[in-house]
Structure 1
Amino acid sequence: MTQITRAAKMVDMNPELEAFLPLFPNADLSDPLTARKNLAEFAAGAPAVDTTGMDIEDRTVPGNPDVPVRIYRPQAAHGAIVWLHGGGWVMGGLDSEHPWASRIAASSGATVVCVDYRLAPENPFPAAIDDAYTVLKWTADNAEELGVDPECIAVGGHSAGGGLAAGVALRSRDEQGPPIRFQLLNQPGLDDRQETWSARNFTDAPWMNRDKVTAAWSHYLGGAPASQYAAPARAADLSGLPPAYIATAEFCPNRDEDIDYAVRLLAAGVSVELHQWPGTFHGSQAIVSAEISGRQNAELGGALQRGLAG
């Protein structure tokens, strides 16, 4: 059984997840092009979601530059989410995110606007958040065409995408942008400082560990200081933000910064649902055949459904 160093003892991973570890792609972020290729190949082999009756359309959102999106419209969708893929701000795109964006749409009944934001290191901060914010404004402005209530628009994402979503929520609050109903943050990357216990100690965790997180932040920031929109944990004021669902994985470097962010949101008067998944690691919900992954993915859809309903 795979054991992960945790202070002075070894801790076991969920055995269902352990069997699939050899199948996870190599995410060596020192070579972004190869890492992107590996992630794309892994996603291509992911189990398909039944999208019968779901309208799926690729569009281009006007901006500077224009932003490609893929829109998933389930039947009778009421609300929408601007969805931001993971990949350490370095990997991922519309095709690699298709298994997960379609799953969110199917499980929540919400329209999903998946954003193909610009990637680092070629395009460091603020390129990705600028793209995400452009799509948020476009979604709100075109809510009628999309068939959704403009008051029922959420932001969300996995990992780096979760950090982007939290940054978009802060920016929209500060710039009096479109109202955001809900934040769906799954294992978000929120703090470049990496000072928490989990960030310092999970050096041998699967898929994402301290060294890879360090590389991801370096690519994303491009040597510039981190603002609160790049690293939302740096925000001094979290009041006035939308309600949030935050999910963490036990063996994830981001775990403690996510829990800290949830506690700070609560202290600022923001409603939060926090779910810590034992025995899991960063991104392990992609192992969809595992029972715990099924519960994780279903909970994301259920949380979004509840959040959009208010």
Structure 2
Amino acid sequence: MRLRNHLTGYLFLSPWLIGLFVFTVGPMVSSLYLSFTEFDLFRPAQWIGLENYRNLFLHDERFYQSLKVTFFFAFISVPARLIVSLLAALLLNQGLRGIGLYRSVFYLPSLVGGSVGVAVMWRQIFGQDGILNVLLGRLGLEGKVWIAHPDYAIYTIILLGVWQFGASMVIFLAGLKQIPEHLYEAAAIDGASRIRKFTHITLPMLSPVIFFNLIMQTIGAFMVFTQGFVITKGGPMDSTLFYALYLYEKGFTFFQMGYASAMAWILLAIVAIFTALIFSSSKMWVHYESGNGGR
């Protein structure tokens, strides 16, 4: 009877288990093997050991440029999006008339922000004859070729990343709804200002939500691809050559699948390290109601 119950359970789990092993575990194992081979899709893979990793770290300057661009994007866009989404959540947490409509409007960019269509729109806005330069011209200011200038192109993509704050905003809004109102009432009786309420009640109570958003946004920032591919193609002068974009170029433009697989595993290691660092630091700043800190 126990065996039958177990078999019944695994039968219901089988679609998920098949998907896990066929579409996740299997490709990961295959990718790990290919990272030690020379493989171009047209000929059988040839084992070359650590040669792909050696070439990446010792001879590939564009590999380091892609890391530099991706790190810069992550370190600027993630904190900026967290701040903007938190401020928007605080604003939308007020009991205003028509607040549901405002929430929907603020969330809309996250629904379409990662699409190719929005990336094309962004390219038009910041192009030489885009709407931004038209508006600057009417103000008597000289516009820039924003997406074609190596000093400005990366900031246009960062701005697009920050504009997609809706998902984080909704999570912050849910966290704000869970903060007991009596805490603010007690603070008001003690004469606490709005700033003190925010720093001593709102932020500590929201720290688990901030932690979650930080983890998810950091992972997403390291995997950014569509914006760089559609808006700038990694240019100008590799100033927007994101890591995922360079990986795609190696794999699907030059068909160096073994090389691209090695890059993928390095990216996995980088994301794992940063995630572990964030988890380790959470003990010092994430507060739960149980009082166990980040544990």
Global fold match (TM > 0.5): no
TM-score normalised by the shorter chain: which range applies?
Answer: under 0.3
Find the structure with the greater CA-based Rg: 2
Give the TM-score of the pair, scaled to structure 2.
0.26
Q: Which has the higher contact order (CA 8 A, sep 6+)?
A: 2
Judging by fraction of residues, say which structure has more strand: 1
Going by fraction, where is helix more abundant, 1 or 2? 2
